Copies of this chain bind each other. A is one copy, B any other.
Amino acid sequence: MNFELDSYDRKIIALLQENARLSWSEIGRQIHLTSPAVAERVKRLEEAGVIMGFTTRINLRALGYSFEAMIQVTVESHDALDRWAAAHPEVLAVHATTGNHCAILRLAVSAPEHLQSLLKSLGDIGKTSTSVILSSQCEERPRLPADQLPRR
Question: How close is A50's CB to chain B, nearest CB, in angstroms?
Answer: 4
Are A132 and B58 in touch, CB under 8 angstroms? Answer: no
Q: Tell me whether A55 and B54 are in contact (CB under 8 A).
A: yes
* Beta-carbon contact of A98 and B131 below 8 Å: yes
Instruction: List, in ascending order, chain B residues with CB within 8 A of A134's CB.
Output: 95-98
**Chain B residues, Cβ within 8 Å of A3:** 62
Given contacts A50-B59, A101-B131, contact A137 B64 (CB under 8 A): no
Q: Are A149 and B58 in contact (CB under 8 A)?
A: no
Identify which of A62, A65, A70, A94 gathers the most chain B CB atoms within 10 Å of its CB. A62
Q: How far is the CB of A65 from chain B (nearest CB, A)?
A: 5
Is A99 a contact of B53 with CB atoms below 8 Å? no
Interface residue A112 (Cβ < 8 Å from any Cβ of B): no
Rounded to whole angstroms, the CA-CA distance of A50 and B85 in the bound complex is: 25
Does A35 make an interface contact (CB < 8 A)? Answer: no
User: In the assembly, what is the distance between CA of A136 and CA of B82, in Å?
Assistant: 11
Q: A113 vs B42: C-alpha distance in the bound complex, in angstroms?
A: 32
CB contact between A63 and one of B59, B97, B139, B144 (< 8 Å): that residue: B144
Q: Which residues of A approach B to under 8 Å, CB–CB?
A: 1, 3, 5, 13, 16-21, 48-65, 68, 70, 82, 85-87, 89-99, 101, 104, 108, 110, 114, 121, 129-141, 143-147, 149-150, 152
